[in-house]
Amino acid sequence: MIKKQRNINAGAVILFIIFSLLFFVLLFRFISIQVTGEAGGQPVAAKAQSLYERDKILEARRGTIYDRNGEVIAEDSNSYKLVAILDEELTTDDEHPRHVVNPEQTAAKLAGLIDLEESEIYSKLSSDLKQVEFGTAGRDLTLQKKKEIEDLKLPGISFIQDTKRFYPNGLFASHLIGYVEKQEKEDGGTETVGMLGLEQSLNDILTGSNGHFSYEADLWGYLLPNGDEVIEPAKNGQDVYLTLDKSIQIFLEDAMSKVDEKYSPKKMIGIVADPKTGDILAMAQRPSFHPKTREGIEDTWRNLAVEDSYEPGSTMKVFTLASAIEEGVFNKNNKYQSGSYKVTERSPAIPDHNGGRGWGEITYLEGVQRSSNVAFAKIVNEQLGYETFREYLTKFGFDQPTGIDLPNETSGLIKYDWPLEKASIGFGQGSAFTPIQQMQAATAIAGDGSMKKPHVISKVVDPNSGKTMQKTSPENVGTPISDATAKEVRNILETVVSSENGTGYGRFNIDGYEVAGKTGTAQIPNPEGGGYLTGHSNYVFSFLGMAPADDPELVMYVAVQQPDIDESTNGAEPVAEIFKPVMQSSLQYLNIEPTEQPKAKSSQAPDLIGMSVKEAEKKLTEQDLEPVIIGDGKTVEGQFPGQTSSMLEGEKVILKTNGKTIVPDMTGWSLRDVLKFTKAANLKLNTVGNGYVMKQNLSSGSVLAEGDYLIVEFETPLEQYEREKMAKEQVEEEEEVVTD
- Residues designated catalytic: 314
CB atoms within 10 A of CB 85: 18
Angle (nearest 5°) at CA 580 between 576 and 582 = 120
Angle (nearest 5°) at CA 621 between 619 and 622 = 65
> How many angstroms separate the Cα of 298 from the Cα of each of 134, 262, 288, 740?
25, 22, 9, 22
Q: Find out whether the peptide bond into 548 is cis, omega within 30 degrees of 0.
A: yes
Specify the DSSP element, H or E, that contains 326. helix 317-326
Radius of gyration of the chain (CA): 38
Provide DSSP, 631-685: BSSSBEEEEES-TTSEEETT-EEEEEESSPBBPP--TT--HHHHHHHHHHHT-EE
Query: With the C-alpha atoms ordered 348, 350, 353, 359, is the resulting torsion angle positive or negative?
Result: negative
At 445, phi and psi to the nearest 5? Answer: -70, -45
Q: Enumerate residues 6+ apart whose C-beta is below 8 A from 159.
A: 80, 81, 82, 83, 141, 146, 149, 150
- Closest among 474, 73, 405 to 247, alpha carbons compared: 73
Between CA 395 and CA 476 the distance in angstroms is 12
Q: Enumerate residues 6+ apart whose C-beta is below 8 A from 88.
A: 99
Q: Where are the beta strands (DSSP E) in 507-613?
A: 516-523, 539-547, 554-561, 602-604
CB atoms within 10 A of CB 414: 18
**DSSP at 475:** -
